[in-house]
Amino acid sequence: IIKARGLRQIFRFLTLFPIIKNNNIRIWGIGKKAVEYYSNLVTSDVRNFPYFLNICRFLNSESRNFSKKIKVLYAGKFNDRKGFDILLEYLENSENEFLNNFEFTLIGTGDYIKRVKKLSLRNNIEFVPFVERQAMPKYFSASDVFLFPGRYDGWGMVINEAMANGLIVVSTPYVGAVEDLIEDEKNGLVIEGDVKSIQSKLEWIISNRNQLQSISEKAKLSANLNDVVRGSKLFLNMIDDYSESI
């Protein structure tokens, strides 16, 4: 992961090198993390243009029942960059008595299939192989929490999708969308990306069931701010601003 990120940074710098001192060029960064990164490299204006999503097919108007077992979903590659090894370690080593408050669904493929299949022998852990993106709304709607302990992700569109459906997103600040969209314990939950922090937030969920519906509804509202219609308007406004400055 470290080598891959290092190579990406090198290639990114080489790409930007010809324009580093060109003040006439505007750079649009995808999210706060990108804006901060590019602002430290170039002297030109850097603006935030996050990912926008057509949220219509992810919307869920129904309220969730948080009084029963909490249904936790992970969907993504089974690899270290997505933090899936952290989630695996948590599930393999946590006390069953506490985990029985939850039902876990793990969707994906990748490096840890054997361990996932072994975990799925438990009554409260389900393994689902690769799912087409258009089928994901069904799994979102059947879940309460989206757990995504990513180590690094430039944005992570799945965060937008889960929030639009009203899921309680539990993720790290190392995922770009989390830094832009989530305020801890307001419209989602932020963890540090280790076993201890996962345990702490899942305990918080069990102890604060009465707050989960409010977080779910606020997540939907936050996702709506990144709807493609708003994105189109922002795009046109930014083009107009640039045109006027020429």
Q: Which residues contact 156 (CB under 8 A, 6 or more apart)?
A: 148, 150, 171, 175, 176, 177, 178
Q: What is the pLDDT at residue 63?
A: 86
Mean pLDDT of all residues belonging to the chain: 90
Q: What is the pLDDT at residue 23?
A: 67
**What does the alpha-carbon distance between residue 154 and residue 161 come to, in Å, rounded to a whole number?**
16
Q: What is the pLDDT at residue 5?
A: 63
* DSSP E strand stretches across the chain: 27-29, 46-48, 70-75, 102-107, 125-128, 145-148, 168-171, 189-190
Higher per-residue pLDDT: 173 or 12: 173
Amino acid making up residue 167: L
**What does the alpha-carbon distance between residue 80 and residue 77 come to, in Å, rounded to a whole number?**
9
Q: Do 138 and 197 meet the contact criterion of CB atoms below 8 Å apart? A: no
Instruction: State percent of the chain over pLDDT 90.
Output: 65
Instruction: State percent of the chain over pLDDT 70.
Output: 91
Q: What is the pLDDT at residue 41?
A: 79
Amino acid making up residue 107: I
**What does the alpha-carbon distance between residue 170 and residue 192 come to, in Å, rounded to a whole number?**
10
Q: Which pLDDT tens digit goes with each residue over 148-190?
A: 999 999 899 999 999 999 999 999 999 999 999 999 999 999 9
| Closest CA relative to residue 46, chosen from 58, 31, 63 | 31
Q: Which residues contact 132 (CB under 8 A, 6 or more apart)?
A: none
Q: What is the pLDDT at residue 17?
A: 66
Q: Inform me whether the pLDDT recorded for 2 exceeds 70.
A: no
The size of the chain, in residues, is 246
Q: Which pLDDT tens digit goes with each residue over 13-68?
A: 677 666 666 666 778 889 998 899 888 878 888 899 998 988 888 988 888 999 99
Residue with tokens 């936790």: 72
Q: Inform me whether the pLDDT recorded for 84 exceeds 80.
A: yes
Higher per-residue pLDDT: 45 or 140: 140
DSSP string covering 74-88: EES-BSTTTTHHHHH
Torsions phi, psi for 32 (to 5 deg) = -60, -40
Residue with tokens 């290092």: 6
**What does the alpha-carbon distance between residue 19 and residue 28 come to, in Å, rounded to a whole number?**
13
Torsions phi, psi for 172 (to 5 deg) = -105, 160
Give the least confident one: 21-25, 127-131, 139-143.
Answer: 21-25
Tokens read off for 14: 């080489």
Q: Inform me whether the pLDDT recorded for 4 exceeds 90.
A: no
DSSP H or E segment with residue 14:
helix 2-16
* Confidence class for position 240, pLDDT limits 50, 70, 90: confident
Q: What is the pLDDT at residue 21?
A: 66
Tokens read off for 139: 């799994």
Residue with tokens 């539990």: 170
Instruction: State mean pLDDT over 134-143.
Output: 95
Paired strand residues for 27: 46
Instruction: State mean pLDDT over 232-244.
Output: 84
Give the least confident one: 108-117, 168-177, 189-198, 233-242.
Answer: 233-242
Q: What is the pLDDT at residue 116?
A: 97
Tokens read off for 193: 């990306």
Q: What is the pLDDT at residue 12?
A: 65
